[in-house]
Amino acid sequence: MFRLKVCGITCIEDALLAQETGVEAIGLIFCSSPRQVTMEQARKITSHLSPGICKIGVFRNPAPEEVRVIVQECRLDLVQLHGDESAAWADGLGIPYIKGVTAGNSAEGWRNSSATALLIDNGQGGTGSCFNWELFQDYRRLGKPLVLAGGLNPENVRAAIGSCRPDAVDVGSGVELRPGRKDPVKLQRFVTAVRTAFQELQETEDDPSWQSEVG
């Protein structure tokens, strides 16, 4: 499971930038978005990346065959689903996937699914707005790794990780110069903040006094 994903990559330069800064996963968007890429663009991007970085295709209500072709042709490792897909439909793809869930909406139907993780966001991708982080904990009972997304940036991600204790975080517009292009300074600051926050989280969880406080 990755700890940090940068979504909305649209060019080789930004993909390599993400890789060089230590990002573990990138997202390539194949549905309607200012950050949408074609299969040709995606193939070029993934061909320049190390096998060690996770390449994720983002879809919304796609046709199964479309997903399978793109995954194969673009050499993707995971898909991320953000539409009205059911757990049965997603499991039937036969491809590892993450399911996007809008904070506050029920995700009970995904409890027994094959989803690798649930990504919790504000349901308004690319807007840079956060949701009420208190809602994040509601999804713990489903027993799935949880990815925090929606409105994260270098200024708030440390607090977000401390508050939500996610398994991973996902950023898009929060590290951009403009839609579809990443800002090297913002991205480096974000990566540094994420590493610091997860280290602090680990130290807290290893602290016996904290363990006694939470039972």
Domain boundaries, the chain: 4-213
Residue 182 and residue 11: Cα distance in Å, rounded? 10
How much is the pTM?
0.92
Query: Which tens digits make up the pLDDT trace of 18-38?
Result: 999 999 999 999 999 999 999
pLDDT of residue 210: 36
The residues annotated as belonging to the active site are 7, 121
Average pLDDT in the chain: 93
Please state the rounded mean pLDDT for residues 184-208.
Answer: 90
Q: Which residues fall within 8 angstroms of residue 173, CB to CB, at 6 or more apart? A: 8, 126, 127, 128, 179
pLDDT of residue 215: 28
- Cβ contact 175:154 at 8 Å: yes
DSSP 180: T
Identify the CATH class of 4-213. Answer: alpha beta
DSSP 108: G
